[in-house]
Structure 1
Amino acid sequence: MRIGYFLSCEEYAPDQLIEQARLAQDAGFHGLWISDHFHPWNDAQGQSPFVWSIIGALSQAVRIPVTTAVTCPILRIHPAVIAQAAATSAVLHDGRFVLGVGTGEALNEHITGARWPFAEERLDMLEEAVDVMRQLWEGDFVTHHGRHYTVEQARIYTRPPAAPKVYVSAFGPRSVQVAARIGDGYISTQPDADLVKQFRQFGGGDKPAQGAFKGCYAATEDEGVRVAHRLWGTSGVPGELAQVLPSPRHFEQAAQLVTPEMTRESLPCGPDPAPYAEQLKTYADAGFDEVYVANIGPRYAEFIDMFRREFL
C-alpha cells in the first residue's frame, strides 16, 4: 500500500500548502491529495484558497502525483470549465494529475443560489458531468444537450497526450456502483472493506482504490485531541448532515454534538506512531491501494518527519 499526503485547503494558507507539498515529496510520500472547497468546515479552520491556483503552483514545486479529493463538477462550476481546468493541470503536471470527483456538499455548492439537489439526482448529474468532460478531452468541438448540462460548440485546445484519469468518491451501494461504472479509480475516507469489494465486483476490477485519514501531531495525546477537536470536530457530524448543511456556522452548531472523547476515538493524536500505524492497517486490511494522511494543526513538519522515519 502506497502512502500519500493530504493537503487540507480548509485549514492552511497557500504558502503553507506549498511548503507541506515540498516537505512531503522530500520525505518520500507517493503523491498528494488536495481538497476542493469554497468554504472551510468551520471558522476555526479559517482558509479556503482556490484549488486550481494551488494545483498550478504545485506543478512548479513538486514532481509527484496530485489528485483532487474531491472536486464537485455538478453545480458551482460547470463541468466544461472543470474539464478545461483538469486538462491544463494534467499538462502542467506532465500527466501526474488525477481528477477526483464526487457529488459534493451544500456547504460549497449552494453559493450560486441554485437549488441543492437530492442525492439520487446529484449522482445522475455527476455521471453526465463526467461524460461531458471526457467528450471534451477527446479534442473535438462538442455540442451536448443533456438532462442537466448544455455545451455549445466547445473545444479544449490545451490538452495532455492522454485524458486525465477520473476517480470517483462513493460512500454507499448506489454511489459505489456509479463509481465502478464510470471511474478510473475509487476514493473513500472510510476504511470499509465491503465498499471496496463492491466497487471491484460492480466493475471496478483492479482499478486503484484511494483512502485517507487525518491525525494530529502534538507533544501529547491530550494536546492533539484538543487541537483536533477545535479544528476538525465537524468531521464527526453524523449522517447526511455533512451533505446538506449550507454554512460553516451550521457545522459549528452541529459539531456541538461531537465530544472530545469522540474525537479521541476517531483520530490518531499525539507523537506516538502506534495509533497512526493502526489506522494505516485498517485501510490496508480493507483493500486500499493508496492511503493519504493529513495533519491537523501547526505541527505538520513534525508529522511529516514522523511518517518519514516510521513508515516511508
Structure 2
Amino acid sequence: MTRFGYTLMTEQSGPKDLVRYSVAAERHGFDFVASSDHYFPWLDVQGHAPYAWTLLGAVAQATERVELMTYVTCPTLRYHPAVVAQKAATLGVLSDGRFLLNVGAGENLNEHVVGQRWPAVGERQDMLEEAVEIIAALLTGDRVNYRGEFFRVDSAKLWDVPDERVQIGVAVSGPDSVTRFASLVDHLVAVEPDADAIRGWDAARDSGLAPSRKIGQIPICWDPDRKNAISRAHEQFRWFAGGWKVNADLPTTEAIDAASHFVLPQQVAARIPCGPDLDAIVEAVSAYWEAGFTDIALVQVGDAGQDGFLSTAAGPLLDRLRDAAPSD
C-alpha cells in the first residue's frame, strides 16, 4: 500500500502552527508527517526556520498514530552524528516507536552557520557514510568507539532507546550514492521520481536485507483560485526551479533569491500543480508511485494555504490518491 504524508515545512510556518497542522494532518488521514530540518528558509519571504527536533518532540506528544520523520537531517556539519543518534533515539521513545530518521548530505545554506568550510559533494558523501555508520551503531544501544577520517566517537552510549530500533533512510542524488548506501541503511529517500534510482537501489541492496521503503516528496499548491495558487507558489517556491544540485551549494537566502529572480510564474506552475483541480494533483503525484516509490510526502506551498488545504482538500485528495495508487 502506498503511504501518503504531510510535510511540516519549517521554512514557511512557525512552530506552534506546525504542531497544529500535524494534528490536523493525522485527523484527516495522512500516514506520516515529515519535517524539514533547516536553519534558514529558502527565501526571506518564507520567514521561518524553527528547530525541527523540538518541533517533532511536541508533535510526538500531540499526535497518537501518525508516523514522524525528518526530511532530511544533515548529520555532518551543523550536527555531530553522535548527537543526531541521541536525538533520534529520544524521539523514538517519545513517539512510542513512530519515528524514522532520514539523513542527507545537506545544503550550504543551513550548514555554513557553524563557520566550517563547505566541502565538495564527493567529500560530503564520504562524511555522510561515516555519519551513518556511527548513528547506526549507537542506535543499537551498544557502547561505540569510532575513528574515521572525519569523525571520532569516544566511548559513547545511548541510555534511552526505543524498544524497536530507529530505522534510517538516506537521500540519494545519483548512481554513486545509490550504490554506496543501499546496503548501509534501511530506506531510500529522493526528491525526484527517478525509476532508475529505485532499480539501482534494489539491485545494489544485499539480498538478505528487508525490503526498503522508497520515500519521495512533491510540492503542490492547492487553492480554490488557480491564479492565487500560482502567485503564492511563485512567491514562496520559485527556488524549487533551481534543483538540488544548484540549491545545495548556495550559501544565503540572498543568493537563492538572485538565482531564482528570473523564474516566471508560469514556469513554477509547470512544475508544481496549482489550483483546485485534485485530479491534476493526483496525476503529478502518480509519477512517484509509477517510478516505484512506496511513500510520498505532499508539500502544501505557503503558510497561508495550510488551513484551507487541510480542512477542505486533504480528505478528498487522499481518497483519490489511494484509489489511484497501487494497493500492494
Q: Taking structure 1 as the reference length, what is the TM-score of the superposition?
A: 0.97
Find the counterpart in structure 1 of residue 8 from structure 2. 7
2: CA distance, partners of 1:288 / 1:135: 27
Unpaired runs of 5+ in structure 1?
none
Deviations, residues 256-303 of structure 1 (Å, cap 9, x unaligned):
132211101000111111211111211111111111101112121222
Contact 1:180 1:199 in 2 (8 A): yes
Instruction: Work out which of the residue numbers 303, 307, 311 in structure 1 matches 2:309.
Output: 303
Aligned structure 1 segments of 4 or more residues deviating by more than 3 angstroms: none
Is residue 2:113 matched to residue 1:106?
no
1: CA distance, partners of 2:51 / 2:108: 17
Find the counterpart in structure 2 of residue 273 from structure 1. 278
1: CA distance, partners of 2:130 / 2:178: 16
Deviations, residues 86-106 of structure 1 (Å, cap 9, x unaligned):
000000111110000000000
Instruction: Work out which of the residue numbers 238, 242, 256 in structure 2 matches 1:237.
Output: 242
1: CA distance, partners of 2:205 / 2:143: 30
Deviations, residues 221-259 of structure 1 (Å, cap 9, x unaligned):
221111011011011114622111001111001011322
- Give the paired residue count: 312
Find the counterpart in structure 1 of residue 24 from structure 2. 23
Deviation at 1:58, TM superposition (A): 0.5
Find the counterpart in structure 2 of residue 46 from structure 1. 47
Find the counterpart in structure 2 of residue 161 from structure 1. 163
State the SS of the aligned residue for 2:138.
helix
Deviation at 1:163, TM superposition (A): 2.0
Find the counterpart in structure 1 of residue 63 from structure 2. 62
**CA-atom RMSD, angstroms?**
1.3
What percentage of residue pairs aligned between the two structures are identical? 35
Unpaired runs of 5+ in structure 2?
320-328
CA 1:108 to 1:13, structure 2 compared with 1: closer, same or farther past 3 Å? same
1: CA distance, partners of 2:44 / 2:193: 28
State the SS of the aligned residue for 1:230.
helix
Q: Taking structure 2 as the reference length, what is the TM-score of the superposition?
A: 0.92
Instruction: Work out which of the residue numbers 263, 281, 286 in structure 1 matches 2:268.
Output: 263
CA 1:86 to 1:239, structure 2 compared with 1: closer, same or farther past 3 Å? closer
Matches within 5 A, 1:85-100: 85-100=87-102
State the SS of the aligned residue for 2:261.
helix
2: CA distance, partners of 1:281 / 1:140: 42
Find the counterpart in structure 2 of residue 125 from structure 1. 127
Deviations, residues 103-137 of structure 1 (Å, cap 9, x unaligned):
00000111111111111111111111011112222
Amino acid at match of 1:22: V
State the SS of the aligned residue for 2:130.
helix
Contact 1:185 1:204 in 2 (8 A): no
